[in-house]
Structure formats: structure tokens, C-alpha cells
Amino acid sequence: MFIYVLMAFWAALGFAMNTRLSAMMARALAPTGALFTFIALWTGSLWGKPTWGTWWVWDARLTSELILLFLYFGFIALQASIDDRRRADRAGALLAIVGVVNIPIIYYSVKWWNTLHQGASVSFTQAPSMAATMFTGMILMALAFWMYSIAVALTRVRCEIVENE
């Protein structure tokens, strides 16, 4: 979800300031965000089968996360379908800006609707409600995912700059 917020930020900055680097950053973040969203949905269904007894339920959180995946795919497809790079960047920026409305829906879906998902296990205001070893592993993996995301995004931007030259 945070990758989509970053993508929308860079796209909006590129839309407002008409900067090419901002649009390149948005384009570079989209495939990684789509990959992580797909992995979250896929592994969630693997976990959901023994827990809920089904691979998929039209739960508010799952459905809004699936919409996020479609937003990523739509952004990538829209960028690829328009030949003029400036027009493609502007169209993608509009989609990313409008799509960012889905992020709070995903985050607050557990509080707003009666869903199968539990509430937050980690909060800034209280101690985590999970075992310390699980919490440590979760934090380490989150840092690893962030480092991977940053490295891949910067590599993609670098490749696009070289390609444009």
C-alpha cells in the first residue's frame, strides 16, 4: 500500500511540475508494488484455506486489495498503451491520484465493516500483540522488502534514463 502512495506522490509531482524524473519514479515503482500486492493476495489465500476453510472470500479487505492490484495493472497498461510519453505520464498520474483513495479503504476496512480479518497487531501507541520472535521476524522482513523495493526502483529509473539517452 505504501508503494502505491509513493507512486501516486511521484506521479502527482510529475503531473503538477511536469518533471520527467518524477514520472520515471512512478513508472519504476508500479511493477514492484504489483508484485508485492499479488504475493500478498496469493500467500493470503494459501493461509486462508486452512484458517477460513476457503481460498477466497469477498471480504472487504481482500476485495479492496484486489482493486489495488488492478490499479497497479491499469497504471502499467495505461503507460504502455500510449506512445507519447508525456501523455502517458499525465494519464497514468491521473489514474494513480484517483486510485490513492483506495488505500485508506484497505487500511480501515477491518474497522468499518465486519470482516474476517483481525485488527492491527502492531501499533505506535501500544505494545505489539504478538510474540517477540514473530515481531522481530516481521520487522526484519519488512526492512528487507523496503531495501529490495528501493534498489529495484532506483535500478529501473537508472535503466530508463540510460534508455532515454
Mean of all residue pLDDT scores within the chain = 89
For residue 162, pLDDT beyond 90: yes
pLDDT for the residue 146:
93
* From 89-93, 116-120, 149-153, the region with the lowest mean pLDDT: 116-120
pLDDT for the residue 165:
82
pLDDT in tens, 103-150: 999 888 877 877 766 666 666 566 666 778 888 888 899 999 999 999
pLDDT for the residue 120:
62
- The CA distance from 41 to 163, in Å, is 33
- The CA distance from 117 to 121, in Å, is 11
Predicted model pTM: 0.87
pLDDT for the residue 131:
79
- The CA distance from 135 to 114, in Å, is 26
What grid cell was written down for 81? 498503451
Domain ranges of the chain: 2-119
Find the helix or strand (DSSP H, E) in which 90 lies: helix 85-99
What grid cell was written down for 50? 486452512
pLDDT for the residue 128:
65
What grid cell was written down for 16? 503538477
The arithmetic mean of pLDDT across residues 79-97, rounded, is 94
pLDDT band at 32 (very low <50, low <70, confident <90, very high): very high
